Amino acid sequence: MVGRTQPINPWPGVGAAALVAALILGTLITVALRAEAGGGFGPADWAALRFTLLQATLSAVLSAALAIPVARALARRRFFGRRVLIALLGAPFILPVIVAILGLLQVFGRAGWISDALGFLGLPPIQIYGLHGVVLAHVFFNLPLATRLILQGWQEIPAERFRLAAQLGCEGLTMFRLIELPMLRRILPGVLAVVFAICLTSFAVALTLGGGPRATTIELAIYQAFTYDFNLGRAALLSAVQLALTAAAALAALRFSQGDGFGAGLNRAIRRWDGGAPLLDAFWIIAAAVFLLLPLASVTISGFAGLFEMPALVIQAAVTSILVAAASTVVLLLIALPMATTIATGRYGIVELSGLLGLAASPLVIGTGLFILIRPVANPTALALPVTALVNAIMALPFALRILVPAARDALERHGRLALSLNMSNKSFFMRVILLRLRPQIGFAAGLTAALSMGDLGVIALFADAQIATLPLQIYRLMGAYQMQAAAGGALLLMILSMGAFWILDRGGRWHVEA
At 1, the pLDDT band (50, 70, 90 cuts) reads very low
136/358: higher pLDDT:
136
Give CATH 1.10.3720.10 domain extents, the chain: 11-25+308-515, 41-259+276-306
pLDDT given at position 97: 86
Q: Which amino acid is at 46?
A: W
The residue-averaged pLDDT of 83-109 equals: 81
Q: Which residues 6+ apart lie within 8 Å of 54 measured at CB? A: 131
User: Considering only CA atoms, which of 431, 402, 399, 401 is closest in space to residue 415?
Assistant: 431
Mean pLDDT across the chain, nearest whole number?
81
- The Cα–Cα gap between 52 and 131 comes to 10
d(CA 462, CA 208): 15
Selected residue with higher pLDDT from 91 and 273: 91
Cβ–Cβ under 8 Å, residues 31 and 372: yes
Considering the entire predicted model, what is its pTM? Answer: 0.79
Distance CA 452, CA 454 (A): 5
**Percentage with pLDDT > 90 across the chain:** 16
pLDDT score for 353: 80
Class of domain 41-259+276-306: mainly alpha
Q: How far apart are the first and last CA of the chain?
A: 31
Q: What is the pLDDT of residue 266?
A: 41
Q: What is the DSSP letter of 434?
A: I
pLDDT band at 264 (very low <50, low <70, confident <90, very high): very low
pLDDT at 459 over 50: yes
Per-residue pLDDT tens over the stretch 110-123: 877 888 888 887 77
Question: Which secondary structure element, helix H or strand E, spans residue 318, and what is its range?
Answer: helix 312-344
* 159 to 74, 125, 261, 273: CA distances (angstroms): 16, 48, 14, 11
Regarding predicted confidence, which is higher, 297 or 264? 297
Name the pLDDT band for 276 (thresholds 50, 70, 90): low
Residue 386 neighbours by CB under 8 Å, 6+ apart: 327
Q: What one-letter code names the amino acid at 417?
A: R
* Residue 426 Cα distances to 19, 125, 284, angstroms: 22, 65, 53
Could you report the per-residue pLDDT of 385-400, keeping only the tens digit for each?
899 999 999 989 988 8
Tell me which of 18-22, 428-432, 476-480 is least confident: 428-432
What pLDDT score does 165 carry?
63
pLDDT at 13: 86
The CATH number that domain 11-25+308-515 falls under is 1.10.3720.10
Separation CA 382–CA 500 (nearest Å)? 29
Amino acid found at 186: R
Give pLDDT tens digits for 312-336.
888 999 999 999 999 999 999 999 9
CA-nearest of 379, 509, 349 to 436 is: 509
pLDDT band, residue 493 (cuts 50/70/90) = very high
Cα–Cα distances in angstroms (integers) from residue 56 to residues 59, 77, 202, 399, in the given order: 5, 31, 9, 21
Question: Given a cut of 80, is residue 92 above it in pLDDT?
Answer: no
